[in-house]
Amino acid sequence: MKEWLLQLSNLPGIPGHEKKVASYIKKVVSPMVDTVEQDNLGSVIATKKGTSDITLMLSAHMDEVGFLISSIESSGMLRMQPVGGWWGHVVLAQVFNITTQKGKTIEAVVGSKPPHGMPADVRNRVIDIKDMFLDIGCFSKEEVLALGIQIGDMVTPKIEARSLNDSKLILGKAWDDRVSCGVQLEVLRRLQGKKVVPNVVAAFTVQEEIGLRGAQTSSYKIQPDIALALDVTMSNDMPGLPKADTALGKGVALSIMDATVVAHRGLFTAVEDVAKQEKIPYTYDMMVVGGTDAGEIHKQRDGVITMTLSLPCRYFHSHTSLVHEDDIEAMVRLIVAYIEQFKTEQLNTLIQSKFED
């Protein structure tokens, strides 16, 4: 699983440009499942058939935040358009990779003025990304074009995923949400060769960072009865953050609600009961800014029984985010145990749980 995670982190793939990630996932997942297909937006849908007609959907998004080249200046500098949420503080002086239309990778650095003589009001404010530029070592627009760079090329952080100082923390880009893609692969690996009641359909979705778009199309195609969306959440063990349960090494986080969905209470209770029974460490999450694939999945047809499972993550939406191996293992174990213990009658129990006794 860790090898998959490192590979997934290193691959480039912003919204609308997830092909390399999708190709890798299809290659890994194909031996583990009965069918692999893609919807028309590009989300990968891997199905392990169960013994019933009940469908349980897992969803994790393949895309990462990044940029597109928006203009090429006569000086040879490049301007960029954010794709997904970025904070200007984490962009200046960072190294990025530009991926050309022909697949060539070109290194670039975001220009940063030295602070010497800089007025205090300039030094103390966050610079707008629209005012930043990429430097690739060219001195004219013609040099840039000769390298094959075009407007619309993908820009992603340059960093090699790795363990941080031989600890259980893994450092890399795109853990939002490649870490959950790795979880889904490991869940399917552990279920390989086992009989399960529900059809387990793992969706590796596109374009989550710009509006949960792949979740909408893939869940429309899958038509699930139950869905577990997998994503990252704030790790609240950093200086300056309000105290909350979610923290690295404390387990998988059961999401009560976010800005796009309130967890189905019956499903939440059922999943929590499995965690208690299997002694899987878990916490509660209530991050009311932002959302996950669950925000679109639960609105399909007349409503899908849905909740989100989250992994604590430090510094996501930057070059250098951190996740904990124990939390990843906890999420895998919880999903596998829930699927293995699922019985046909549980669907009706979940449907009825919205009514008062």
| Catalytic residue numbers, as ranges | 208
Name the region of 284 (left: φ>0; alpha: ψ -120 to 50; beta: rest).
beta
3-state helix, strand, coil in the chain (%, to 5): 30, 25, 45
Alpha helices in 278-354 (DSSP H): 294-297, 325-341, 345-352
Q: Which residues pair with 284 in a beta bridge?
A: 254
Q: CA 258 to CA 261: how far, in whole Å?
A: 6
Phi/psi of residue 346, nearest 5 degrees: -65, -25
Q: CA 285 to CA 23: how far, in whole Å?
A: 32
Integer angstrom CA distances of residue 152 from 68, 112, 134, 139, 149: 5, 23, 14, 20, 9
Nearest residue to 18 (alpha-carbon basis) of 63, 65, 60: 63
Contact of 171 with 164, CB cutoff 8 Å:
yes
